[in-house]
Chains A and B, each alone.
Chain A
């Protein structure tokens, strides 16, 4: 596996416990005043020139949020977040209004280049095929989308791919119809907060019968200090449509903790399929557990139509705290939900992640494959719910949760909830916990691999069945990322 060699080469390039994406970009920003009240919500809505109904929707969410309390059921510990001490809106000064690549601040382009995010649209000449994969990217910097590539080409296929702010201006009827229809404003504390103050995110609409011609991706970057990022993503696949979407995330290294509370809603109508992949690499904090992103995210897909399918794949390597349960509501008959997860925790990271598969329609099926890897002093929890409604005849689920421990100071936990209200449901659950043994490492080292190469090899083997679910374009990068995240976990 050349990726293992590359992992190690990459690890050597950087100092121990150095987060590769930890740099800051110096850009003039426009910010809302600190703290949260109705005026801030109005400020955000006004900045984005939103329709009146949207402002009302936000204010409604804000009032509900005020009445709610922070959930405490997850296996995570952190000091209380002071929501009045945060900025809720930060945008690069010159990035308001319509944008094309030519208008983007060169500093920003430079930053994305450093992050390895392709914002250049490679031209395809007649008869000459580029060997680079073509991926359309929406780049979100703090609170706003700075550019979306390949828009024209996607438009030819009828696919709408733009920032959610733009969608609110250009396609308000679509946004109004679907926004909050999967994750209601008051769904949970963080979803309510997001609904009130979300600033940007991606919007995808794939019309009936269209197979989206390329991978879509959004790259989220937090740059400003003391700023929360609240993005909102909405993806709609009409009857018989197909789309594959990937999000990536990074942030600078900071001593303080930063808040990220996103909401993602997916809607798949009859015979449609949505494949949603995440490679989350927010700054995890330093080796003593100082700093890092608090990642409180609500992701949910609604298999609204018959024979629809939603597949979540996530690779979670970053964040000080991850609280995230990408779920599927299997409403349409014969619909299918999938959840493939790799969660790597090192240092003092805390991960509480999993999924919910809600079987409502007839003959629905779901599959959950979760691989948790805990190293250092980290805690890694899988929390999942599989439920079959009274009328969901023939529901089927298969779940496999595997945990791998590296060292003896970390913890792996599995908390599965299974509720079958229908006697025809067929649910299977498997779980294993294993340790990378000294014998296994010695075996690999005897064959010439260094200790780090050996860990990378064993871990990549452990997560192989999930990695196979990722789009090819991101596979090698992800393998490297996993190796880097576990750097310093042995010895």
Chain B
């Protein structure tokens, strides 16, 4: 269970306050969507969950399985099962995808006190997962994300997610930059990872993604707080009426 309690976050270097008392719970086995206008704090929430530097939690707490994670380093959180699928995945020149996956998989396994994978075990594992996501194995021999299309980047993110076997998945605008076909492949990949032991938080601007990844709940984030919570139909309403109701401005 993910519990975010009265979370207040500001930028570390400036006085700008972004999250102003955000409260939210996602039980295991559920998929929740966060929707909201530009600048409402959606990406900040994703980064703060993953532990990126540059943000300061001034009040409140984030509990994952009952344990506060706000003081943990990003890699410790990853070991606890937190995974962030990036809106803009980073390029790592000269590092082949397979090398990156293997290094990450074994780093996480080690921290989870599992034995590291041998080369044959790893190759079998990655081939299996890549096939499911329609990923051409040749792509994994190229440097991570370098020269990848938008669709390739997002598929590569989902492959990493499948490999690292997280229990809390945060997807930050995973639909951005995807055409309809890629959207379907990525959504199928995410849906395949849904399960009773996994909580997911899907951050998006548009309702479109939620046709493919059907959420258990939808939250509207505006002005640093959850303004409204509803079922999947809330996303459809928002698509029609926009966010004006929550921002006090016309959309």
**Interface residues, chain A, CB within 8 Å of chain B?**
1-2, 4-5, 437-440, 442-451, 453, 457-458, 460-465
Contacts and interface: CB of A to CB of B under 8 A. Distances in A.
Interface stretch (B25-33, B34-42, B97-105, B175-183): B97-105
Interface string B68-102: 00000111011100011010011011110001101
B234 interface: no
B78 A462 contact: no
Interface in B134-184: 143, 160, 164
B111 A457 contact: no
Contacts of B52: 442
B90 A443 contact: yes
Given A1-B99, A447-B164, A448-B79, A458 B92 contact: yes
A13 to B, nearest CB: 16
B166 to A, nearest CB: 10
Given A440-B90, A458-B95, A445 B103 contact: no
B78 A453 contact: no
A462 to B, nearest CB: 6
B197 interface: no
A216 to B, nearest CB: 29
A5 to B, nearest CB: 6
Contacts of A438: 53-54
Interface string B103-133: 1111110110000100000000000000000
A7 to B, nearest CB: 11
B89 A462 contact: no
Contacts of A448: 75, 78-79, 104-105, 107-108, 111, 164
11 contacts: A442-B52, A446-B74, A448-B75, A448-B105, A448-B164, A450-B73, A450-B75, A453-B107, A457-B100, A457-B103, A461-B94
Given A448-B107, A448-B108, A461 B75 contact: no
Contacts of A453: 103, 107
B98 to A, nearest CB: 9
A465 B94 contact: yes
Interface residues of B, number: 35
B121 to A, nearest CB: 13
Given A443-B86, A445-B73, A448-B79, A464 B160 contact: no
Contacts of B116: 5
A442 to B, nearest CB: 5
B50 interface: yes
A448 B165 CA distance: 12
A169 B83 CA distance: 67
Q: Name which of A4, A446, A450, A460 has the most chain B CB atoms within 10 A of its CB.
A: A446
Contacts of A457: 92, 95, 99-100, 103
Contacts of B100: 447, 457
B94 A445 contact: no
A442 B89 CA distance: 11
A2 B51 CA distance: 26
A448 B109 CA distance: 9
B118 to A, nearest CB: 10
B82 to A, nearest CB: 8
Interface of B is mostly: helix
Nearest to B145: A443
Contacts of A444: 92, 104
Contacts of A2: 102
Interface string B1-27: 000000000000000000000000000
Contacts of B111: 448
A443 B50 CA distance: 10
B94 A462 contact: yes
A368 B89 CA distance: 32
Given A1-B99, A1-B102, A449 B75 contact: yes
Nearest to B47: A442
A437 B99 CA distance: 20
A113 to B, nearest CB: 28
Contacts of B110: 5
Given A5-B106, A450-B107, A445 B75 contact: yes
Contacts of B78: 445-448
A454 B188 CA distance: 30
Contacts of B105: 448
B99 A447 contact: no
Q: Name which of A443, A451, A453, A457 has the most chain B CB atoms within 10 A of its CB.
A: A443
B107 A443 contact: no
B55 to A, nearest CB: 11
Contact of A445 (B74, B89, B92, B164): B74
Q: Name which of B104, B105, B110 has the most chain A CB atoms within 10 A of its CB.
A: B104
B74 A442 contact: yes
A453 B73 CA distance: 14
Given A442-B52, A442-B74, A457-B95, A449 B90 contact: no
A443 B156 CA distance: 13
Contacts of B107: 5, 447-450, 453
A242 to B, nearest CB: 29
B89 A443 contact: yes
Nearest to B170: A446
A442 B107 CA distance: 15
Contacts of B106: 5
A119 to B, nearest CB: 31
Contacts of A1: 95, 99, 102-103
A450 B116 CA distance: 16
A5 B90 CA distance: 21
Contact of A449 (B93, B103, B143): B103
Contacts of B79: 448
Contacts of A449: 75, 103-104, 107
Contacts of B143: 461
B48 to A, nearest CB: 12
Nearest to B53: A438
A5 B118 CA distance: 13
Contacts of A458: 92, 95
B171 to A, nearest CB: 13
B95 A461 contact: yes
Nearest to A459: B94
A57 to B, nearest CB: 46
A447 B110 CA distance: 13
Given A445-B75, A448-B75, A439 B90 contact: yes
